[in-house]
């Protein structure tokens, strides 16, 4: 029964679940689009599928869902500025950032990982939609980079366990 769950309390409790900070990007009408996503998830190995959730009222999501290619930039702990930039006004999100086109989607320099996807299916999920996508390319540096995560309402980084 969900009638008794207060949305603010729900958000507070779910804030205890750490999430990876990613930026989903696309080119739409020859303009770069970007949206910070904390819900990116691997779905299937065979076939390779991944996805993310977006609020149904997001105007950026309405732009991204038009794209034929989506890029997932998994941000490193040194890229909080990239995450913050991608929350600015849509026409200012790429200002001052180092990015290139990679297979049709904007890719930020020096990320922890890069995943290129094509849309497969959009599923209703309450006040969100789940974008299920085909993974068509991916890359990570030889030496892993520390990711940035969001936990308890703040950016954090993982640390190596003490030996």
DSSP string, the chain: --TT--HHHHHHHHTTS-EE-EEEEEEETTEEEEEEES--EEEETTTTEEEEEEETT-HHHHHHTT-S-EEEEE-BTT-HHHHHHTTS-GGGTTTT--EEEETTEEEETT-SEEEEEEEEEEEEETTEEEEEEEEEEEE--SS--PBEEEETTEEEE--PPP-
pLDDT number for residue 160: 54
Residue 44 pLDDT more than 90?
Answer: yes
Per CATH, the number for 21-151 is 2.30.110.10
Q: pLDDT tier at 163 (50, 70, 90 boundaries)? A: very low
Cα 161 to Cα 155: distance, rounded to the nearest angstrom: 19
Report the residue count for the chain. Answer: 163
- pLDDT tens track for 55-114: 999 999 999 999 999 999 999 999 999 999 999 999 999 999 999 999 999 999 999 999
């Amino acid at each position: 029964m969900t009638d008794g769950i207060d949305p603010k309390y729900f958000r507070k409790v779910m804030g205890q679940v750490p999430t990876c900070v990613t930026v989903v990007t696309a080119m739409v009408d020859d303009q770069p689009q970007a949206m910070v996503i904390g819900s990116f998830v691997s779905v299937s190995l065979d076939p390779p599928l991944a996805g993310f959730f977006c609020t149904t009222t997001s105007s950026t999501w309405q732009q991204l869902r038009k794209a034929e290619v989506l890029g997932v930039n998994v941000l490193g702990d040194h890229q909080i500025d990239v995450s913050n930039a991608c929350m600015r006004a849509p026409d200012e999100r790429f200002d001052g950032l180092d990015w290139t086109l990679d297979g049709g989607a904007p890719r930020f320099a020096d990320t922890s990982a890069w995943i290129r996807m094509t849309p497969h299916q959009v599923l209703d999920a309450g006040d969100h939609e789940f974008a299920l996508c085909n993974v068509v390319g991916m890359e990570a540096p030889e030496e892993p980079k520390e990711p940035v995560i969001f936990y308890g309402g703040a950016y954090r980084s993982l640390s190596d366990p003490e030996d």
